[in-house]
Amino acid sequence: MTDAPALHGHHPRIGRLHGKTALVTGSTRGLGRTTAEWLAREGASIYVSGRKQEDVEATIAAIETLGVKAWGSPADLAKPEEAHALAIRALETAGPFDILVNNAGMSQPQPFLDVTDAEWDTELNTNVRSPFILSQHLAREMIAYGIRGRIVNISTIGVFAAHKQQMVYNIAKGGVQAMTRCMAWELGQHGISANCVAPGAVPERPGSQEQTDSGALQVWSERIPMGRLGRAEDIAAAVVFFCLPESEWTTGQTLLVDGGHISYLRED
């Protein structure tokens, strides 16, 4: 795996991912930002990606205060050509990578009967096609450099139980889980693992109802056996697990992180 560049004036903590380099998409806010920070605290250098240049620059500065190197560039992953461009820029700037976290995602809640072709294309491109493209680029480099890399994709509880008015999002994330299993099969011979984290009710999740309706917070909490909504840190911890040296033999898995939500059907 790659060695992190020497830092001038920084003395990073020797974490469990020291010397690794990670690309985290959608890492300027929410789940992606927290995940990038958790990987950085474990010693990984981070390549940041988000839609806006100013957000990328602010996130780079914040991550560098954690004592690791950070780079980044903006990309709109609803456009496949920008996914290709992001991969090429990232590899030229900071590659090869040891870790890819395909976190960026989006949802446009719509009733099934009202979904347009444009909405379908935007959601499928962002949620599954761009992760496919990025995984191709980075996995090729991992293989070329003999890196036993890690790919971690982000799905949703909606693959297991339908989200209201989010059929296209759930379809795309179902594709992400299938892609994860297929990548695990094809890349395992190269020592590369591929796993998936499926968040439950987390306010930072794209398109989540609790993100826009504060009055739903208590209702959602009552539906979850652990008694609270999820936090970005809950998801980041699962991503970090899949990146650790100790988890190398775990591949092709989807870990549902939902506070037990799906295990309990309320009848009132």
Bridge-partner residues for 70, per DSSP? Answer: 46
Residue 173: give the domain boundaries.
21-263
The answer to whether 150 touches 193, Cβ cutoff 8 Å, is yes
One-letter amino acid at 212 equals T
One-letter amino acid at 86 equals L
Chain-wide mean pLDDT for the chain?
A: 91
Bridge-partner residues for 99, per DSSP? Answer: 22, 150
Residue 124 CA, chain-centre distance (Å), reads: 15
Q: Which one is predicted more confidently, 228 or 126?
A: 126
Let me know if residue 74 belongs to a domain.
yes
Q: What are phi and psi of 24, to 5 degrees?
A: -120, 115
What tens digit of pLDDT does each residue of 239-254 get?
Answer: 999 999 999 999 999 9
- pLDDT, position 46: 98
Among all residues, which ones are annotated catalytic?
Answer: 169
User: Which of 237, 240, 242, 262 lies closest to 253 in space, CA to CA?
Assistant: 242
- pLDDT, position 210: 47
- pLDDT, position 221: 77
Let me know if residue 4 belongs to a domain.
no
Let me know if residue 15 belongs to a domain.
no
Let me know if residue 211 belongs to a domain.
yes
- The strand ranges marked E within 187-248 are 193-199
Let me know if residue 2 belongs to a domain.
no
The two most distant CA atoms of the chain are separated, in Å, by 60
One-letter amino acid at 38 equals W
Let me know if residue 268 belongs to a domain.
no
- pLDDT, position 142: 98
- pLDDT, position 137: 98
What tens digit of pLDDT does each residue of 103-153 get?
Answer: 999 999 999 999 999 999 999 999 999 999 999 999 999 999 999 999 999
| Cβ burial, residue 223 (10 Å; 0-12/13-18/19+) | middle
Let me know if residue 194 belongs to a domain.
yes
Q: Which CATH number belongs to the domain containing residue 31 in this structure?
A: 3.40.50.720
- pLDDT, position 250: 98
Q: Which one is predicted more confidently, 213 or 95?
A: 95
Q: Which two tokens stand for residue 13?
A: 């903590």
* Residue reference for tokens 């380099």: 21
Q: What are phi and psi of 137, to 5 degrees?
A: -60, -50
Q: Which two tokens stand for residue 105?
A: 């995602």
Q: Which two tokens stand for residue 195?
A: 């796993």
What tens digit of pLDDT does each residue of 163-183 get?
Answer: 889 999 999 999 999 999 999
**Who contacts 71 (Cβ-Cβ below 8 Å, separation ≥6)?**
46, 47, 48, 60, 90, 93, 94
pLDDT band at 207 (very low <50, low <70, confident <90, very high): very low
Let me know if residue 9 belongs to a domain.
no
- pLDDT, position 218: 75
Question: Looking at the 3D structure of the chain, how many domains does it have?
Answer: 1
